[in-house]
Structure 1
Amino acid sequence: MKLNSVERAMMNNPLRAAHQHRREAAWFRRLAGGDLAGQHVLEIGCGRGVGAEVILDRLGAQQVTAFDLDDSMVELARKRLHGRPVSLSVGDVNAISQPAASVDAVVDFGIIHHVPDWQGAIGEIARVLRPGGLLLFEEITRHALEWWAFRALTDHPRENRFEADEFAAELGRHGLHGTGTLEHRAGGALFVGAARKV
């Protein structure tokens, strides 16, 4: 699902960008056991390009391929990332255009909870990861999506949502196994983790 105007304002502001560059980058770096130096990384749901910037500048990736369902966000990302080693396109996480086993890592900055068929999205992520490849994720729980503010101000699928343990179980069904304990943040509203393709 595309973001509504409230979500766009929440995601496309300097505070969110600073949080991604500092806190989320630090979480992912620790979960990855270091940086992603020399790796080809796929970012799902690139928005205006801050995540790709983080992947390059904070996590040390060599190359980023990124896509978003919203063509206006992809245009903003193109302007932001001009001249950087990033390939951008309009795309859908349920039909990723990358060949099978073609990327070293996938990064999810809170996108999968927007996807109605999130299980299919995980299957696609598993398909494009090479054996031993890493998925780094930050996601919002079903419990948090039921809070009044989320229900009133944001557009998320209402059915078939997940808690952290259900998300981890689905990863396992697709051969993606956790590298450690899922970490809960923001009073349990968020969880972050990493999984490798076996």
Structure 2
Amino acid sequence: MKLNAIERAAMNNPIRAVHQHHREAAWFRRLGGGDLRGQEVLEIGCGRGVGAEVILDRLHARRVTAFDLDDTMVELARKRLHDRPVTLSVGDACDIHQPASSHDTVVDFGIIHHVPHWQQAIAEIARVLRPGGLLLFEEVPRHLLDTWAFRTFTVHPRENRFEADEFAAELARHGLHGTARIEHHLGGLVFVGAAQKT
């Protein structure tokens, strides 16, 4: 599901970029057991390319493959990342056009809660991860999406949303097991964690 104008403004601004580069990168380093030095990383929902910058500059991945459902965002990311080791495309988290067991790490900067059939996205992430590979995730829980503000000003699927424990259970169902306790940040606005493919 694509973002509306309000969500684009909230996600595509300098404050959000600084937060991703500093706080979110630190959360992922801690939860993932360090950086991603030398790894092939897949980012789902690349937006305008800030996440890929974080993965390269803060987590030290060797190469990033990233996609987004919104072709406008992919074009913005191409302009931002034109000289970086990044491959960009338009794509769907429920049908990832990557070979099985092709990536060391998958990074989710708050995308899966936008996906109507999010369980299929989890299955696809598990498919493209190598054995021992890592999923780093930051997500928005159902109780926040159910608030008046989110229902009024944002566009999200209304049904089939998740809390952190339900998300973790679905990961485990696909062989992705938590490497640490899921953390709740920003007063419960998001939860973050890491899961490893067995």
Alpha carbons 1:143, 1:189 under 8 Å: kept:
no
Structure 1 match to 2:120: 120
The C-alpha deviation readout for 1:114-169, integer Å capped at 9, x for no partner, is 00000000000000000000000000000000111111100000000000000000
Structure 1 match to 2:9: 9
Q: CA deviation at 1:186?
A: 1.8
Alignment pair present for 1:33 and 2:36: no
Written as runs of structure 1 = structure 2, the 5 A alignment for 1:98-109 is 98-109=98-109
Structure 1 match to 2:56: 56
The C-alpha deviation readout for 1:28-65, integer Å capped at 9, x for no partner, is 01111110000000000000000000000000000000
Distance in 2, matches of 1:191 and 1:68, equals: 22
Kindly provide the amino acid, as one letter, of the partner of residue 158 in structure 1: R
Query: What is the total number of aligned residue pairs between the two structures?
Result: 198
Moved over 4 A (4+): none
Written as runs of structure 1 = structure 2, the 5 A alignment for 1:1-198 is 1-198=1-198
Stretches of structure 2 that go unaligned for 5 or more consecutive residues are none
Q: CA deviation at 1:189?
A: 2.3
SS at match of 2:35: coil
TM-score in terms of structure 2 length: 0.99
Distance in 1, matches of 2:40 and 2:106, equals: 9
SS at match of 1:125: helix
Alpha carbons 1:129, 1:197 under 8 Å: kept:
yes
Stretches of structure 1 that go unaligned for 5 or more consecutive residues are none
CA RMSD of aligned residues (A): 0.4
Kindly provide the amino acid, as one letter, of the partner of residue 148 in structure 1: W
TM-score in terms of structure 1 length: 0.99
